[in-house]
Structure 1
Amino acid sequence: MIRRRMKGMAIFLIVLLLVLIARLVQVQLVSTESYSKHHINLMEASVNQRSQILKLDDGRGVFYDRYETPLAHEEIPTLVLFPFLKSMTWPSDKVAGIIKVPEQQLLDAIKEAKEPFAFGETKPINLTPAQSSAINELKIPGVFAVREKFYDKNMLAAQLIGTTTQSESVKKKLHPERELSPEIRVGSYGLQKTFDDFLLSEGESKLVFHVDGFGGPLFGVDVKYVEPANPMYPVKVVTTLDKRMQEAAERLVDAHKIEKGGLVLIDIETNEVRALVSRPRVSKEDPNHIGNKNMMLMRETPGSVFKVIVAAAAIDSEIANSSRTFNCNLRIDGSPDTEYEHGLLTFDQSFSRSCNRTFAELAQEMSVENPDILEQYAGKLGIKDTSSWTGPVYHIDPFLQFDTEESGVIWHNDDLKKDKKMIAKTAIGQQDVQVTPLAIANMMATIARGGEKEMVKTVSKVEFNNGTTVYDFPKNNLPGDTLSPYTAMKLQRLLRGVVTDPEGTGIFLKDLPYEIAGKSGTAQTNIEKKELNKWFAGYFPFKSPKYAMVAVSFDTNESTPGMTRVFADMVKEIHKLDNTDSSYESKE
């Protein structure tokens, strides 16, 4: 009996020893770089235990504006100090003299430090090239002048650029074929998500200083600069944004207290986004907050801006001749309009003064012969479908620059196309009609170009770290039928009349430094709460079109000003930038 127990115990101990050996082999030899379901890099963790590390760059690609000015970060030549300096005697007076700060300020900062840090009271101190050289020539352990990447807390174009996450579920969804470490971040939405295949980190850049068990430096072991194995990374995503215009747009949207809505600015020649603002602001605390959605890519009721579609169809149908007049003392259902008594108006006057009756009547007439006419012309002007640049990019087909952009809606139910009341409501941009601000801005650019409709770009190219182009996004036309140049020319004249007509809805924009052509829109979105969408969409300068723009405020009320004021202020800013800073543009 005793011998059997001893034999069993021996077998148990042998099995236990084999298990421990197997575990040791796994930890030391097999799973050194991806241990457990969390994919922990044991070798890296071991180094971290006996090192003090300052991460200079996480290795993820970054975004720049069209002049290759950083949009969401700064690369600052700064002074890095390691915490073990507090227990050393070092020439702090020399370092303080070089950066021109009191020596005690340096010593106080180190006294509180628990890990390596970039020196500066409120933000890292920005060293000159001469200061950087002088500091590094001192060769003081734990004192370095390096370039470090700092991300802006209030990022420009936040919803457009988007955010990143370390969520394992998101990683698996975006990269099911790859095993990514817990530290790697991937795009959760916006351009961060769309361009994630390009942006994914190939390794960090960091300073590693080996220390002893008490946190002091291991003398004889120099600081080690670690960078990605592939020198082509991190990549640069060069957007089409103009940082100066983006800053002006964000400032003005906030100054005019647009709580839900924003602004889109498009360069007409290239059909590239120069500025895009969405409000409410991003919420980092709540991922489901509406501020994390790009309102410029979400469809909303456009109101009278949709009359551009009806006008285009009426011009081609030849029912909007100059001699015809419309009774604008009536509502769209034919009842007296006691609020807006415009009297008898021509087609041009009806457009500039936004007479609902005229466009309801025209749409009803055209729909008798062609129930699909409003949908067809919405397609010709590019607001029925999405406007995003789309095409094959390597193994991704289709690749969408705006992956969350919603397509437009004209009718939810085909049966409504034969109902005169529903046709009338649709003609003035109500009922089922919903379009995105981006699509409306693109519509204005299309008209300004003479009817040629193009895809909207917000990224022009992706570059490797050495400046070599990875992918250059070409100009692409939107598919489908287009307007004739004649019809586009007639629309241009109508849009200009909105501003020049003494009773036009855009008269406030008459005396700006650029001549404006455009259309206002007000749509009821909630009758009980008396909520409205307020729009102004247009382009400028009228004779030599350069920019198309939309300013919009959603779910606002009658007491808030229209969008012509925001539009006007942004035009003034653009004119100022176009005419006072040629040196900035020369960097392109």
Structure 2
Amino acid sequence: MRVPRRGNSFIRKRRIAYLALGIMGMLLILLFRLAWIQGTAGIHMSAYGGHSLNEMSIRQRQEGIAIDSGRGQFTDRHGQPLTGGIVWAPVLFPDVDGKAALHGEELASLLQTSKKQLLTRWKELQSPLIWRDRRGEPVQISRNNADKLLKLAPSLIELMPYAKRYADLPNGRQWLGFLYERADRVGALPIGAAGLERTLEPLLSGIGETFVSRFVDARRRPLAYAPLRVSVPSNAHYPLQVQTTIDLTLQEQLEKLTVTNHLAEGAVVVLDVGNADVLAMVSRPFYNPARVDPQRTTGWSNRALKAVTPGSIFKLVTAAAALESGVVQPKEQFHCYGAYGKYGLACWKKEGHGALNLEEGLAVSCNSVFAHLGERLSPEQIQATASALGVSRTVGWEERNLAGLPRFRPLDHEEEGAVFGPHTHAADPGVRVQTAIGQRDVLVTPLQAANLIVTLLHDGQVHAPRLVNRISYADGGTLLELPAHASSIPRGGHPIHPSTARLLREAMKEVVAHGTGASLRDKSWHLAGKSGTAQALKDGRPVNHQWFIGYGPVERPRYAVAVLVQNASKHSASQATALFGQVMDLLAQFSSVSRAVPRSSS
């Protein structure tokens, strides 16, 4: 049987029918998708008082404001927040009918401004605005005033929870950093410009803002039946939370201690001797993270990571180099006459110390003993030992190829320090003599100095100070663990011998028992350490950098501490030694009330 041939018109009709069915299917899928979005975002048709048919047109007339950037937050080791906080901020919406003028005086008083300034700004307003004070902070409204404000200007003002990243107060937490709004990216979210805010920027930036909006009619009047709408990114993993190793209570107490001691410039670093975790790190002068302009503001640089001349604390490195290279025996006798007789060098004690061995020379910080050692040592021996002890190189925790970052280093702009300058003739014995006592080109950071103590307490093993230990998702899951680990030794190097570390620890006990740290004998704990005074110039005038580094309690070491007082008067007593003692007393109090962190395993 022959099948009739169908004409072109039939084929066209069939194609049109298939196309119509396809379009209907796509529309059904689109409608299902819209309904799903509305459900997951918490939007219900009933919220619009039965106006569901007009929803798509209403959506085109929204005005709102971001109340949270979605950026990740920081906590201390106990979960106490270091960033983030909610304040109820007044948000002004455009006044299309000029109603604000009816109660201008009262509104201005509640908003802490003048009537003229308020109404002028309101008249120019094209989009919602968080009302801020002269310092740029959202104006704080009391509960009583909130009720008055909302009654005076219904629909023109709303009180909204606003995420405030930093407290508007100066502090010594430069390791945290700050955010910076780039002038060439109008409307872009602020980015991390220093500290952890900068080094963790790729992880902190988040996936979107929390946005509050309301619906308005064609003349921008609010729709009475449409409530405020909150739009939140629909990913339960974000924002991330970064747990630091810092003890916030200890950090705050140390900051207060530097204020009462009138420390103008310098740093205090406290490390857990178990694993070199940074428990507190204070930098002076303070900075205000809420008000930093990198081009104008001073004080935002972290002095704990900046290298300065160490003076006599470097004698620990020189002694280690002499013992490791065999150019001195522990009981060898030296004689200090006051003046060394070469290179214009003299001991700080004009009449001299008389006969003394290496340990005694460290205890009283005799320049003559270390001048002899400087002449005996080669530049390579001094440099190699400094590196083996974690001095003259960065020591902060780092990993490569972690979280998609080629080099993951939480500590921002940690300086390396130095032993010899790039153009210094290190073969000159006069140069080595000055180097041996921690002068000339020697540079050390307070973090390196505190970590040197941890290294000696671990018989020469250098640990990597850690500032972050965990990065978690918002729902509690762990994104990254940053385990404590040792610092890698440069190629060709090796740790010092445990016997060398033990002798230096004994010498540090003698510093407090009978030497330059004798004023610390009456402290809460039995302490050990090393003092240092480095000569420097500031604005052409001679000044001193005062140091004290050490640990306590001696019987069961828990904390390594470095104190640096920069640019002190040349003739002033050692403020660093006194402050070190107060820091240790504070740590002893923390331990007695079980607030201190238990010693960690290495």
TM range (shorter): 0.7 to 0.9
In 2: Cα distance, 1:559 partner to 1:215 partner: 70
Ranges in structure 1 where 5+ consecutive residues have no aligned partner: 1-45, 89-103, 128-139, 170-179
1:485 to 476, 479, 498: 498
1:287 to 288, 295, 309: 295
What is the one-letter code of the residue matched to 1:433?
A: V
1:360–1:428 CA contact under 8 A, matched in 2: yes
The CA deviation at 1:389 is 1.1
The CA deviation at 1:350 is 1.1
Q: Structure 1 residues 55, 333: CA separation in 2 closer, same or farther (over 3 Å shift)? A: farther
Match for residue 363 of structure 1?
374
1:190 to 180, 189, 195: 195
Give the 3-state SS of the residue equivalent to 1:296 in structure 2: helix
Higher radius of gyration, 1 or 2: 2
The CA deviation at 1:152 is 0.9
2:89–2:130 CA contact under 8 A, matched in 1: no
In 2: Cα distance, 1:198 partner to 1:566 partner: 37
1:332–1:425 CA contact under 8 A, matched in 2: no
Query: Per-residue displacement from partner, 1:425-474 (whole Å, max 9, x unpaired)?
Result: 00000111111111111111111222211111111121121121111112
Q: Structure 1 residues 445, 519: CA separation in 2 closer, same or farther (over 3 Å shift)? A: same
In 2: Cα distance, 1:79 partner to 1:412 partner: 54
RMSD, aligned α-carbons: 3.6
Query: Per-residue displacement from partner, 1:104-155 (whole Å, max 9, x unpaired)?
Result: 999945998865669999746699xxxxxxxxxxxx9876785744531126
Match for residue 4 of structure 1?
none
The CA deviation at 1:206 is 3.1
User: Is structure 2 residue 335 aligned with structure 1 residue 327?
Assistant: yes
Ranges in structure 2 where 5+ consecutive residues have no aligned partner: 1-56, 101-105, 123-128, 145-153
1:74–1:150 CA contact under 8 A, matched in 2: yes
In 2: Cα distance, 1:274 partner to 1:539 partner: 14
Match for residue 361 of structure 2?
350
1:580 to 573, 585, 593: 593
Q: Structure 1 residues 351, 47: CA separation in 2 closer, same or farther (over 3 Å shift)? A: farther
In 2: Cα distance, 1:350 partner to 1:213 partner: 86
1:381–1:443 CA contact under 8 A, matched in 2: yes
Give the 3-state SS of the residue equivalent to 1:417 in structure 2: coil
In 1: Cα distance, 2:580 partner to 2:596 partner: 26
What is the one-letter code of the residue matched to 1:350?
A: G
TM-score normalised by L of structure 2: 0.74
Query: Per-residue displacement from partner, 1:246-279 (whole Å, max 9, x unpaired)?
Result: 1112222222222221111111112111111222
What is the one-letter code of the residue matched to 1:274?
A: L
In 2: Cα distance, 1:332 partner to 1:315 partner: 22
Match for residue 320 of structure 2?
312
2:392–2:443 CA contact under 8 A, matched in 1: no
Q: Structure 1 residues 52, 506: CA separation in 2 closer, same or farther (over 3 Å shift)? A: farther
Match for residue 385 of structure 2?
377
Identity, % of aligned positions:
27
Query: Quick check: 302-311 or 152-161, which moved more?
Result: 152-161
Q: Structure 1 residues 552, 582: CA separation in 2 closer, same or farther (over 3 Å shift)? A: closer
1:68-467 correspondence to structure 2 within 5 Å: 68-75=79-86, 78=88, 108=110, 115=129, 123=140, 146=161, 148-149=163-164, 151-154=166-169, 156-167=171-182, 182-211=187-216, 217-282=222-287, 284-285=292-293, 287=295, 289-318=297-326, 320-321=328-329, 323-334=331-342, 339=350, 341-367=352-378, 371-392=379-400, 393-413=402-422, 416-467=425-476
1:80–1:146 CA contact under 8 A, matched in 2: no
What is the one-letter code of the residue matched to 1:416?
A: H
In 2: Cα distance, 1:121 partner to 1:569 partner: 38
Q: Structure 1 residues 411, 395: CA separation in 2 closer, same or farther (over 3 Å shift)? A: same
The CA deviation at 1:50 is 5.9
Give the 3-state SS of the residue equivalent to 1:161 in structure 2: coil
Q: Structure 1 residues 80, 546: CA separation in 2 closer, same or farther (over 3 Å shift)? A: same
Give the 3-state SS of the residue equivalent to 2:85 in structure 1: strand
2:511 to 498, 504, 528: 498
Number of residue equivalences: 498
Q: Structure 1 residues 122, 166: CA separation in 2 closer, same or farther (over 3 Å shift)? A: closer
What is the one-letter code of the residue matched to 2:525?
A: Y
TM-score normalised by L of structure 1: 0.76
Match for residue 177 of structure 1?
none
The CA deviation at 1:156 is 4.2
Query: Per-residue displacement from partner, 1:269-316 (whole Å, max 9, x unpaired)?
Result: 121111112223337245255523222111111000000011112333
Query: Per-residue displacement from partner, 1:334-391 (whole Å, max 9, x unpaired)?
Result: 5775735322223222111100000110222233xxx411111101111121011111
The CA deviation at 1:581 is 5.1
Q: Structure 1 residues 492, 124: CA separation in 2 closer, same or farther (over 3 Å shift)? A: farther
What is the one-letter code of the residue matched to 1:496?
A: K
1:239–1:458 CA contact under 8 A, matched in 2: yes
The CA deviation at 1:496 is 1.2
In 2: Cα distance, 1:531 partner to 1:107 partner: 51
What is the one-letter code of the residue matched to 1:444?
A: I
The CA deviation at 1:212 is 5.2
Match for residue 29 of structure 1?
none
1:569 to 582, 592, 596: 582
The CA deviation at 1:225 is 0.9
Give the 3-state SS of the residue equivalent to 2:536 in structure 1: strand
In 1: Cα distance, 2:383 partner to 2:346 partner: 29
In 1: Cα distance, 2:267 partner to 2:506 partner: 27
Match for residue 559 of structure 2?
547
